[in-house]
Structure 1
């Protein structure tokens, strides 16, 4: 029997950025007993060395929520940290005053641009109704914190929990992947959120003689569109090889239509790869240099990056500053406030 305070993380979509975030929360609050109940997305597993007590559920979303509720009631952890919108539905249940509820949206569902306006309003109404319950909303970006503050009821606290990148063994010479041209990369699931069609259109409009690469996989039609635009798609890769691709690239171009606070950008920055990001409201406040709002504007920014040395250096400098802000120390302090430290 442990005397450590138990923090139970609940994720309906465990993989990718959410998986990486949870692992870093555990690493940066080591005095606590972190546990997991998850519904895996096996294809999105980041394949990292991380071992905590985990309950895996296979089945429907509804079944997962009921199973998670039973597990919470049986375990009675001091803190339940809900990750993303579906797990956030567990806030409808009253687990009693002895269990602290923490909710991290990892990008609110009502920000999605791939569904109807009616659906987005329904998502917002649900979030408004659930955000008046006793809880702490741990937002991962300044934009998400501002959205949470609008929704929050009198019993709701809103805290900023920055995403961070762990120390990466960065070789100043950078372990390059053999290629003849400079390379622009984007990493993530080929999905409406990451907007591969925007990336493809920027690649078409760019006049730079560079290689365009998408690290990841996903929707077959969108993958075909990337290929037609001359973009090389790597498919899903082990995490170590993803890091090698990120570290060897000349530029990371982030084209997502909506976001939380993407960890891949922090990883690229920590590996010394400059970043340009599509300007969308959810990225404001994270410190990354913006390339523009349209594929044409972004293509021009990419061309300028490779032809204008002062712009290249400015982009690199702003990218380096983003790493210094998003540190393990900053996240550790935020987690101490959020979870309350040891029992």
Structure 2
């Protein structure tokens, strides 16, 4: 179904956010950008993806489109051309295709990949090559690439043209009250969690193999749902799968855990990891390139090494303190105050 824009849809905001992949971490990140630049008028133009909706209330006026991807790109181009906001912030690779159009020097184009599509491991080498060629070509256009991780910023810088600015825009989560800390030395059974969609990106097979290889007496929990075969693999490994939960219960599951183990095969700057850090749950992350530079303690990129790291976390107090300290340091960098300052610089004199 094609959305017919009304005259009210063309009210001019200071910043127009455009996303084809509205849901999950992108949805959360966009809400924080809006929340942490409150002096500006924001509008959101998105292609709805109800299966990824995290039910987070967005304070900005939203214009939705329910058609195909090509139809969305045409509609978004028309919307931008007619409303002419001073800043257009494109979110994710497919919305980034709008960089092929020339909207004129009076519109500042900002692009945030939220994990480049060419990092995907659930598609062919040919498809990844096409994604890389497209990103390389579009990165030569006049724009600002606002990367959400040091790895993403480095990737952008390698492709950037002479008229491309690359900046770092860290993801954040709202401040939350931390629960009273519990000691890992207590007699309770330790709990290790991972949260997210059961999908190739989050790699539940890695989590399942880690659970099988670990020797510690641990309750392994996956917070979320998704692919049925992948869910079965988790459950066969003894992992409890909660299914989809409201946001407050997801955060409760994370806060009650002794350790958050992030198993994703590729990433941008995952929101669930930030949520774990915010509530004081120590983080261990799989040692993939995209997680480097975010400040978390990394394991080697294999399930057996991850299992050894989990065992060491529960048996070695020094290692546990190292993981906790790294997690605490990440909270200082990924804070609303830091993001607000970055957004002030990014959006400049808009508004």
Q: Give the TM-score normalised by structure 2.
A: 0.93
**CA-CA distance at 1:46 after TM superposition:** 2.0
Alignment pair present for 1:295 and 2:295: no
Measured in 1, the distance between the counterparts of 2:170 and 2:349 equals 17
**CA-CA distance at 1:4 after TM superposition:** 8.7
Question: 243, 257, 263: which is aligned to 1:255?
Answer: 263
Question: 286, 290, 297: which is aligned to 2:294?
Answer: 286
- Which residue does the alignment assign to 1:45? 53
Give the paired residue count.
339
Measured in 2, the distance between the counterparts of 1:187 and 1:126 equals 31
Structure 1 residues 307-318: aligned runs within 5 Å: 307-318=315-326
The answer on whether the counterparts of 2:203 and 2:265 sit within 8 Å (CA) in structure 1 is yes
Question: 110, 119, 125: which is aligned to 2:118?
Answer: 110
Measured in 2, the distance between the counterparts of 1:38 and 1:280 equals 30
Q: 1:173 to 1:312 in 2, by over 3 A?
A: closer
**CA-CA distance at 1:88 after TM superposition:** 0.5
**CA-CA distance at 1:342 after TM superposition:** 3.9
Measured in 2, the distance between the counterparts of 1:184 and 1:214 equals 9
| RMSD after superposition | 1.8
CA deviations on 1:174-200 (whole Å, 9 max, x unpaired) are: 7xxxx9622100011111111110001
Question: 127, 146, 157: which is aligned to 2:165?
Answer: 157
Alignment pair present for 1:306 and 2:314: yes
**CA-CA distance at 1:83 after TM superposition:** 0.5
Structure 1 residues 160-199: aligned runs within 5 Å: 160-173=168-181, 181-199=189-207
- Which residue does the alignment assign to 1:79? 87
The answer on whether the counterparts of 1:269 and 1:320 sit within 8 Å (CA) in structure 2 is yes
**CA-CA distance at 1:81 after TM superposition:** 0.5
- 1:85 is paired with a residue whose SS is coil
Measured in 2, the distance between the counterparts of 1:309 and 1:124 equals 43
Question: 19, 23, 38: which is aligned to 1:15?
Answer: 23
**CA-CA distance at 1:312 after TM superposition:** 1.3
Alignment pair present for 1:239 and 2:243: no
Q: 1:4 to 1:147 in 2, by over 3 A?
A: same
**CA-CA distance at 1:73 after TM superposition:** 1.4
Greater shift, 153-162 or 40-49, is seen at 40-49
Measured in 1, the distance between the counterparts of 2:304 and 2:237 equals 14
Measured in 2, the distance between the counterparts of 1:305 and 1:81 equals 41
Measured in 1, the distance between the counterparts of 2:189 and 2:50 equals 33
**CA-CA distance at 1:5 after TM superposition:** 5.6
Structure 1 residues 136-147: aligned runs within 5 Å: 136-147=144-155
Alignment pair present for 1:202 and 2:210: yes
Measured in 1, the distance between the counterparts of 2:141 and 2:12 equals 26
Alignment pair present for 1:36 and 2:55: no
Measured in 2, the distance between the counterparts of 1:114 and 1:310 equals 37
CA deviations on 1:307-334 (whole Å, 9 max, x unpaired) are: 1122112111111111011111111111
- 2:171 is paired with a residue whose SS is coil
Q: Give the TM-score normalised by structure 1.
A: 0.95
**CA-CA distance at 1:239 after TM superposition:** 0.7
**CA-CA distance at 1:43 after TM superposition:** 2.5
- 1:145 is paired with a residue whose SS is helix
**CA-CA distance at 1:171 after TM superposition:** 2.5
Measured in 1, the distance between the counterparts of 2:201 and 2:349 equals 35
**CA-CA distance at 1:297 after TM superposition:** 0.3
Structure 2: 5+ residue stretches without partners: 1-7
Structure 1: 5+ residue stretches without partners: none
**CA-CA distance at 1:282 after TM superposition:** 0.8
CA deviations on 1:42-92 (whole Å, 9 max, x unpaired) are: 232222333210011112111111111111112111111100011001111
Greater shift, 238-247 or 180-189, is seen at 180-189
Measured in 2, the distance between the counterparts of 1:4 and 1:333 equals 24
Moved over 6 A (4+): none
